[in-house]
Amino acid sequence: MAAISAQPFDYPLPATLSQAALVIIDMQRDFLEPGGFGDALGNDVGLLRAIVPTLQQLLAAFRSLELPIFQTTESHRSDLADCPPSKRLRGNPALKIGDPGPMGRILIEGEPGNAIIPELAPLPGETVITKPGKGAFYNTNLEFLLKTHDITHLIITGVTTEVCVQTTMREANDRGYECLLVEDATESYFPEFKQATLEMVRAQGGIVGWTATAEQVMAGLKQVKGA
């Protein structure tokens, strides 16, 4: 059986490779550019750009193999009806969700700052899940779409490692998905939190799942497709 060389042990690929999807979490301007939500929370947003070239390679590999790709954005309705006051008000940031900023209203669907960065822009027909929470399963149709397409394996990437990425991976793991977190295709505003997340997901025999580098993922896929 084909497998990705991974930690804590090899990650077996599904018999039908199209049962494995690439999941890219929240690579949107709101988290990567000054004036967005990440900046409003007091973070150094420049740190997240390091993974863009690696994500471009993974995206190209999944596209060329015609494997499923799901991107997400953390987004709220313009009337904020799906934004709990606890989320909007906690920490009393200078710019709150829904407030006007230099890239439009902070974290609001359809605003310039809420768009996925141009380097990773989805192609027509690729699925983008807008999610009101940190996890991609909470109040979205992601699980329905995965089931409809018989997807069982998730290769998870994006930002930030210990917030939306880890929450999504835990939600997926509890639902029975085989999850692999790509070490050099996820990033955090806090390098030590990223490292801790990688270690905690693969601890205890893969309690949440696996980790591997993008190169290991692409090498594993090529075994199957001979690409």
Q: How many residues interact with ligand TIU (rule CB under 6 A)?
A: 11
CB of 200 to ligand TIU, least distance (A): 16
Q: Does 41 bind ligand TIU (CB under 6 A)?
A: yes
- Provide, rounded to whole angstroms, the least separation between the CB of residue 164 and ligand TIU: 3
Select the residue whose beta carbon is closest to ligand TIU and give its number: 164
Distance CA 22, CA 61 (A): 10
Q: Using CB under 6 A, which residues numbered 48 to 77 contact ligand TIU?
A: 74
Q: Which of 154, 159, 180, 208 binds ligand TIU (CB under 6 A)?
A: 159
Q: Shortest approach of ligand TIU to residue 219 CB, angstroms?
A: 28
Question: Residue 207 in contact with residue 201, Cβ under 8 Å?
Answer: yes
Q: CA–CA separation, 17 vs 139, rounded Å? A: 28
**In this complex, which beta carbon is closest to ligand TIU, that of residue 200 or of residue 219?**
200
Cβ atoms of 59 and 69 closer than 8 Å: yes
Query: Which x/- pattern over 120-149 shows residues binding ligand TIU (rule: CB under 6 A)?
Result: --------------x---------------
CB 136 within 8 A of CB 144: no
Residue 149 CA neighbour count, 13 Å, CB half: 18
Residue 150 appears among annotated catalytic residues: no
- Say if CB 50 and CB 72 are below 8 A apart: no
Query: How far is the C-alpha of 214 from the C-alpha of 4, rounded, in Å?
Result: 10
CB atoms within 10 A of CB 188: 21
What CA–CA distance (Å, rounded) separates 211 from 213?
Answer: 7
Site string for ligand TIU, 17-36 (x = CB under 6 A): ---------x----x-----
Dihedral sign, Cα of residue 114, residue 118, residue 123, residue 126: negative
Q: Which of 32, 40, 164, 218 binds ligand TIU (CB under 6 A)?
A: 164
36 SS3 class: coil
In whole angstroms, the minimum distance from the beta carbon of 199 to ligand TIU comes to: 18
Point out which span in 85-93, 145-153, 156-164, 173-181 binds ligand TIU (CB under 6 A): 156-164
Interacting residue ranges for ligand TIU, rule: CB under 6 A = 26, 31, 38, 41, 74, 134, 159-160, 163-164, 189
Active site residues: 26, 131, 164
